Amino acid sequence: MASGFFAIFDDIAVLMDDVVVMSKISTKKTAGILGDDLAVNAEKATGFVSSRELPVLWAITKGSFLNKLIILPIAFLLSAFAPWAVTLALILGGVYLAFEGAEKIYGFFVPHEHAKVEVKPENLSKEAILKTEKSKIKSAILTDFILSVEIVIIALGTVLGRPILFQIIVVSIVAIIATVGVYGIVALIVRMDDFGFRLVRMSRKEKSVSKFIGNFLINALPVVIKSLAVIGTIALLLVSGGIFVHNIEFLHHFLEVLPSILRDFIVGLLVGLISVFVVKAFKSVFKRKGKNG
């Protein structure tokens, strides 16, 4: 009886060890999307009055948790009854990620003709500020939903073929880490400048360590957000390329002479550029039909 009791504990220990290992692997696989998620949400959580940044971010975080509560059960059902659909969703999601990455590169070299008009929060009424907040929160939650689908599907793709309980534990852990990790870091990023201002105010001397650090944090915020955007773009292409190479047989031996990271980037970029070209072509056709109609 005692030996059977300890055997159960041994099985649980082995299971949890496997869960930890697979959770690490799944988290690494989703790192590219997490980088883009981090960049996108850091950008969306800035530009508000200082006192409203954290409430806005908290609203987005709650929306992110709700997104994953919707996505996870659907993903597990697909895994149990239609595993092929997970692979299909993974490839389609890869196309979307490649498109996002390539479109950012295209937009850098071929900028849009119309420039964005920046409206400062202090010039808006209270009602207008709240309306802007709601709009940004909705936009951020929608973007998070798309990225969350990819995070869950990629994490699920690493444990396909394993028992369903194992899949649920691993993917749920990755989903929680993704949400808490991303939005925790975003909270630190958006408060960098505020913390910097406090350090500057605290210093009474013209030249001091606290003043130097404060000014550094203030000036570093826009650089950090822009850097995250660049890193996120590269990561999107790497992740999408990896999805195609590992899930499409035709691409298994494509450019094998190159290092895997470079091959993944090239494949992701090629698919992304093709998808951008297709989307632009469709938009052009619909515009012409609209004018002629």
**Which residues are CB-neighbours of 251 under 8 A, at least 6 positions away?**
244, 245, 267
Residue 63 lies in a domain: yes
- Cβ-count burial of 112 within 10 angstroms (0-12 exposed, 13-18 middle, 19+ buried)? exposed
Q: Residue 266 CB: number of other CB atoms within 10 A? A: 16
Count other Cβ atoms within 10 Å, centred on residue 278: 12
Residue 279 clears pLDDT 70, i.e. is over it: yes
Contacts of 23 (CB under 8 A, 6+ apart): 170, 173, 174, 177
Cα separation, 53 vs 64, in Å, equals 16
Residue 182 counted as domain residue: yes
Mean pLDDT of 259-267: 89
Q: What are the tens digits of pLDDT across the range 86-98?
A: 788 878 888 888 8
98 in a structural domain: yes
Is 132 part of a structural domain of the chain?
yes
Whole-model pTM: value is 0.68
Residue 291 has pLDDT above 70, yes or no: no
Mean pLDDT, the chain, integer: 75
Q: Is residue 216 part of a domain?
A: no
pLDDT of 141-175, one tens digit each?
A: 877 787 788 788 777 777 777 777 878 888 888 88
pLDDT the model gives residue 56:
79
Euclidean distance between CA atoms 106 and 272, whole angstroms: 10
With respect to residue 73, please indicate whether it lies within any of the assigned structural domains. Answer: yes
In a domain, 31, yes or no: yes
Q: Which residue has the tokens 């003709």?
A: 113
* Structure confidence by residue, pLDDT tens digits, 178-207: 788 778 877 787 778 777 888 888 777 777
Tens digits of residue pLDDT in 208-218 = 778 888 888 88
Domain count along the chain: 1
Of 35-49, 56-70, 181-195, 201-215, give the range with the top mean pLDDT. 56-70
Question: 165 lies in which domain range?
Answer: 18-191+230-248+255-292
pLDDT at 5: 36
pLDDT at 15: 41
Q: How confident is the model at residue 126 (pLDDT cuts 50, 70, 90)?
A: low
**Higher pLDDT, residue 281 or 142:** 281
Q: Which of 217, 289, 272, 286 is nearest to 106 (CA)?
A: 272
Q: Residue 161: which region, alpha, beta or left (left: phi > 0; alpha: psi -120 to 50)?
A: left
Over range 59-82, report the average pLDDT: 86
Lowest mean pLDDT among 9-18, 39-48, 102-111, 250-259: 9-18
